[in-house]
Amino acid sequence: MPAHSFDYEANLAACARGNQAALRDLYHQESPCMLALAVRVLADNSAAQAIVRDSFVLIWKNAASYDPQAGTARAWIYSIMRYRIMNRLRQAGRPTPAMKTGWQAELPSQPAAGKTPSLVRALEGLDKTQRLPVLMAYYGGLNYEQIAALTHVSQEQVRTHVHAALAAILEAQTA
């Protein structure tokens, strides 16, 4: 089922009511992309699999706390996984793979499975000051402090650029 027709909000609401089939549907819809992202950031397949598994446990347990006013259900799901990844990296006391190998500012040559062409177009439409921090944060797994150090701008500027980019992407997705 294409990502654009999958109803994340309805599935999360069903999870909150204890509907295990809704969790299964969410898992089948997003786990391949989540695993690919986790492997990319952690550079460790077994750790990435554990992160995805733990993320879905948390999604199940916390589905009732999802607030549509705070953002999309899909973004909420990925924020759970991102937090788990960043926590794993902090515990290990090691930099992310993107920091060790240097950063490339280009979009991936082949969009990951589940990436809609409109998302790729929205990312391409951002100026470099917005696109780079978003890619570093969400594709490279870096936090604001790490992005600031690599781009030589303040953390507050990074935060501002990321928030502006996310707003522009959301606007492009809903247009």
Domains of the chain, by residue range, sit at: 1-94, 100-175
> Given pLDDT bands bounded at 50, 70 and 90, which one contains residue 62?
very high
The count of other CB atoms within 10 Å of the CB of residue 72 is: 15
Q: Per-residue pLDDT tens for 135-151?
A: 888 777 778 888 888 88
> Given pLDDT bands bounded at 50, 70 and 90, which one contains residue 46?
very high
Q: Which CATH number fits domain 1-94: 1.10.1740.10, 1.10.760.10, 1.10.10.60, 1.10.3720.10?
A: 1.10.1740.10
Q: Does domain 100-175 have CATH number 3.40.50.410?
A: no
pTM exceeds 0.85 for this model: no
**Cβ neighbours of residue 60 closer than 8 Å, sequence gap 6 or more:** 15, 23
Q: 67-71, 108-112, 113-117, 139-143 — which one is most confidently predicted on average?
A: 67-71
State residue 15's pLDDT score: 95
